[in-house]
Amino acid sequence: MAAIVDHEFPIHGLLPKRETGASAFLAKYPEYDGRGVTIAILDTGVDPGAPGLQQTSDGRPKIVDIIDTTGSGDVDVSTVVEPKDGEIVGLSGRTLKVPASWENPTGRYHIGVKNMYELFPKQLRDRTQKDKKEKTWDPPHRVALAEAIRKLDEFDTAHPNPTAQDEKLQREDLQAQLDILTSQEKKYSDPGPVCDCLVWHDGNTWRAVLDTSETGDLESCTVLASYREQHQFCIFSLFVMFNYSVNIYDDGKVLNICANGGAHGTHVACIAAGNFPDDPERNGIAPGAQIVAIKIGDSRLSTMETGSALIRAMIAVIDQKCDLVNFSYGEAAHWPDKGRVCDIISEAVNKHGVIFVSSAGNNGPALTSVGTPGGTTSSIIGVGAFVSPEMMTAEYSLREKLPSNQYTWSSRGPTIDGALGVSISAPGGAIASVPNWTLRGSQLMNGTSMSSPNACGGIALVLSALKATGVPYTPYTVKTALENTAQKVEGVEVFAQGHGVLQVEKAFDHIRQHADSAERNVRFSVAVNGGRGVHLRQALSQRKPTEMTVSIEPVYAEDIEANEKISLSIHVSLVSEVPWVHVPPCLELMNTPRTFVIKVDPRGLREGAHYTEVLGYDISNPQKGPLFRVPVTVVRPESVQDKVQYKVTSEREVTFKPGQVHRRFIDVPLGATWAEVTIQSLSPETVGRFILHMVQLQPHSAYRTHESYKFFNLTELGEVSYTCPVLEGVTVEVCLARWWASLGEVNVNYNVTFHGLQPSVTTLNLHAADGITRVDVKSPLKHEDVQPSIKLEHGVCPLRPSEFKIRPLGDRDVLPPNRPSYELVLTYNYHQTKTCEVMPHCPTLSGLNLDTYNFKLEKGDYTIKLQIRHETKDLLEKLKDVTFLVQYKLPSALSLDVYPSKSNALLGKAKFGTQRCGIGVTAPMFITPLPDDKVPKAASPGHYLVGQISYAKAEPGKKTATYPVHYVISAAPCKPKNGGKDKDKKEDKDPQEEFNEALRDFKIQWMSKLDSKAIYQELKELHPNHLPLHVGLLQALDNDKERLKQLDDIIAAADVVIGQVDMAELASFLALKADTRSDAATIKVEMEKKKATLIDAVCKKGNAAADKVLQALDGDAVGSTEIVKDLALVKETFEELLKWAEPMDIKVVSFTMKHAMVCGQYGRAIKAAQKILDDKPNKENEKKCIELYKKIGWDHVAKHCERWLPVRYPQSYTLF
């Protein structure tokens, strides 16, 4: 058996180094392994305890510093306390025991609290929650649940048909216990470890500790200083294996807990610079390099990066004097090479000599899918993802060794403004170390996130060699060398691989050989008509030759001497390698912008994408390669020839090998609004995995704005169809790609069919007050069936700020050199009427900030804080009144009715059904407002509803060609009082009489604020039967601060109110099926007031009697005559209440709770207390529930709720 085992495992393919020449370079120069180079890893954070990240190859600490720039680890520790008898009460409510061995000359401690689930990655959080539930919740809960079931069964056996009120309540109590325990099981959610945090100064430096024990035993916890000072980190627990470190800012007022938010950053760091002294095959590319780990992925946002985190990160990069940055992140961008983040990155590169390496993106295979900043920023080296045969075998265990290729998903250039987008490529997969909390030593990951650190590590080798040999370099000499020496991969288009795969030794030799060139300290900024290259894509721009002005501007770093700038003089040869781009033969360069005109004539090109470059060579040194490149991309779309069906078909079957990409560029016909793509397999034996990627480009819009992406399996002889919306007159790329690892060949046919139903307005803005709205729809291409449908699925609540504050930010946000940043903090007040999913966002900043998030929000009142940052204070001043929107999901979608004519709409006759719309024929339709009874209760005037309208009958068009609808709510109709009937005219009153009544009512209003009894006695003599007077006294007594001392008075006052209500009259009225009296509406209002007054008085009386019983029970007066009397009164009052109200009605539920408590029926009491909490969620009501859980003996539920208190009701707002 052993003879057939292959002992030569391709270990070099696990973390690829041969493909870039890194292995050969290290074999030749073993000491140029990254030593002397510092790489900043901007990512999800790095685990300092992960394998390979402890030290460099020459024994130095691997991780120089760990920084969290997101704010997700920030803890407000501005509260300062001093221990009493060696103890501090933490903000969690726990008592913390301060060890006597701690050095603290001032004796003062800064305290805060942190829910660690805010930092735990989701995978770890899920594992911890599962363990917590199984060990601490399930055992006692199962016992309690079984006991509740047993008690209920025993009662039902003993009382099969309970009739007495006491028996009914007893059974209700037992059923409530079972229901509550069942509900608690369903909604169980662990709040996570809630740790008290202490910060203090020991006389030398700031120290911090987290109470990871959650018991207050600080002696068992690890004391840490800021990581940069002593390189300390700590493990949260042996179960979670979650390592963290700390940094302390603002004179001890802010504690930052630095912890990785995911495995991504650690994996990236190990690819770039992991070091395994005992297993060098596992080494990263540059094992001698050191790392600054900067967390830019916010744990609160599923590790999404934020603008403020990136700005802080670049400040740290410059402060730490990092040589290299690896940024394996990216987003689609509306504006390439622009924005505050891109500006600060370019500043770091151009002014501080930082080399910035970034992933190009994983959004291919369509063109112009590169992300920002990696594929769109000129100062950055954007890296695509390449896969070699050795990687396919070692990492992916493919049965066959396929030729080298680009990963299918690797993003492609060019950028919309003409730059190539991808600079170079590198291996885009690796098996490398991941954080210890994953409970695995290593893991396979792939993406341009992996190709970027591979290239970054390779560049670190080059820098290590340059530093060791004293060869000067700049970020642009390095970038130029990388691009001029990269190795092209045969069969891979330039848009995917850029200039080719990085070659470490060749790049080093290139820089060394040309270190003395005249342009060694200069970069050449290329601009073409406001862009960075030529990018012709639309058919209209290619009907004749185009002349464009190219500007070449030499740019020096600030520290370059004047003589070098003056002496710059280069004779440049301009070269075009294709006949359709015409350029002048030469250009004389000096230290000033120079321009020349090129002519691009695409008329003779075949349909498809074409790329070339105008190259500028130094005539005296052409072997160095081009000094600058002017990218030229021409996409030649085809027009649709079939003017009947508007169908484009594959002229012949297309054979797809693994990784093969087939592109079709089509000039979308005028009037088209959606396209349907049908793909058919002609292979009877092979299943293929494919991607259909369709993109249209618009100025100032990211490619994602008009993109369709489908990943699918195409079965043997199978067929699939997909639809996507299209823009008329705009070139659409139809990109069909075979998955790179899908083996075998597949032959396919495909066709693209265009449809069109064109509305007169693309965004339908309706206002309820406008009444009927007309929309016209026509079919420009062919006959289409029209069947309009409008669905409103969300409501939007606009908010205006209640206050604003502008202030300078702290040291972490000061841009070099000493440029302070400012924050504008806006405060909004929001009321959530019911629990549902919401999406808060600021439309003014849409496109400037990152993605919005949906989340579930409980009912209640909320304060929203919005922070906007910028260097310019005046700009923030202009935003101090910016509107904020909260979008909430409606319980069910609402429909608007559509009619074929205005008369039908007015009369509510036949609605719009299905109409066949001929070519060029217009179909009018009339939309009516939402009926008043359908308007959501949460929607107020000024709110609006949002949804979509579709016009096509066919399902593909109905789902795809949709348009946004905004429906603005108007004021609700005024309901006439008294059923619309005028009240009988009141008899004219004497002014003195009116004054006396007004004075009486005014005094009643002030009873609660003044001496209520004195006012009451005064008014009682004059108005003994005036019910509001007696109600006023009852309310004043019940709301008094000394209420518990006046319980007898409350009972007496309630009896007076109850006695004033004619119960027989009220009962007679409520028993009526219909009231036919002319003043029935007036009578109804009066009776409802009386009923409400009666119920309120009964409840207040019952609550007072119950409180007397509860006070007596607390005072050990069980069994006394008085308590028996009061208990009887409580029961009697409760029985009276049941005649008039439901016991769980929110207005009476407080009495229901107290009645249950005095009867010892804690199941009913908890049910009522939960009702109160649901209506008014606050800490006081939550504590009441906890108290009842303890009384019934459910300690595990009480402890669980207590752990939630500091999470649900924090002491202060979360720091940004």
Where in the sequence numbering do the catalytic residues fall? 43, 264, 449
d(CA 420, CA 422): 6
Q: How far is CA 795 from CA 390, 894, 935, 942, 950, in A?
A: 54, 11, 10, 11, 19
Q: What's the Cα-to-Cα distance from 679 to each of 645, 650, 673, rounded to whole Å?
A: 17, 10, 20
Strand partners, 40: 292, 325
User: What's the CA gap between 857 and 849, in Å, rounded?
Assistant: 22
Return d(Cα 1000, Cα 271) in angstroms, integer: 83
Q: Which amino acid belongs to residue 1195?
A: D
> Measuring CA to CA, how many Å separate 600 from each of 4, 77, 553, 631, 1140?
61, 63, 22, 12, 88
As to burial, measured by CB atoms within 10 angstroms (0-12 exposed, 13-18 middle, 19+ buried), residue 388 is buried
* Cβ–Cβ under 8 Å, residues 292 and 65: yes
> What DSSP string runs through 400-467?
S-PPPEE-TTS-----TTS-----EEEE-EEEEE--GGGT-SEEEEESHHHHHHHHHHHHHHHHHHHH
Cα–Cα distance for residue pair 172/116, rounded to 1 Å: 40
In this structure, how many other beta carbons lie within 10 angstroms of the beta carbon of residue 416? 24
> String of b and e for 1106-1128 (b: at least 16 CB within 10 Å)?
bbbbbebeeeeeeeeeebeebbe
DSSP one-letter code for 285: S
In which residue are the tokens 């099969």 written?
Answer: 160
Q: Are 1098 and 1134 in contact (CB under 8 A)?
A: no
Dihedral (C-alpha) 924, 930, 931, 935: value to the nearest 10 degrees? 180
How many Å is the Cα radius of gyration of the chain? 37
User: What residue has token string 């700390």?
Assistant: 246
Q: Is residue 586 within 8 Å of 629, Cβ to Cβ?
A: no
Q: What is the DSSP letter of 656?
A: E
Mark residue 1085 as left, alpha or beta (left: phi above 0; alpha: psi -120 to 50; beta: remaining): alpha
Q: Which of 340, 311, 314, 308 has the alpha carbon at shortest distance from 1216?
A: 308
Q: What are phi and psi of 812, to 5 degrees?
A: -65, -15
User: Which helix or strand (DSSP H or E) is residue 815 part of?
Assistant: none
Beta partners for residue 61, in sequence order: 55
Q: How far apart are CA 686 and CA 745, in angstroms?
A: 7
Q: Which helix (H) or strand (E) holds 257?
A: strand 254-258
What CA–CA distance (Å, rounded) separates 915 from 924? 10
Burial class of 1045 by CB neighbour count within 10 A (0 to 12, 13 to 18, 19+): exposed
Question: Which residues fall within 8 angstroms of residue 1086, CB to CB, at 6 or more apart?
Answer: none
The identity of residue 532, as a single letter, is R
Q: Contact, 935 vs 972, CB < 8 A?
A: yes
CB-based contact 386:429 (threshold 8 Å): no
Select from 511, 482, 461 the least CA-distant residue to 27. Answer: 461
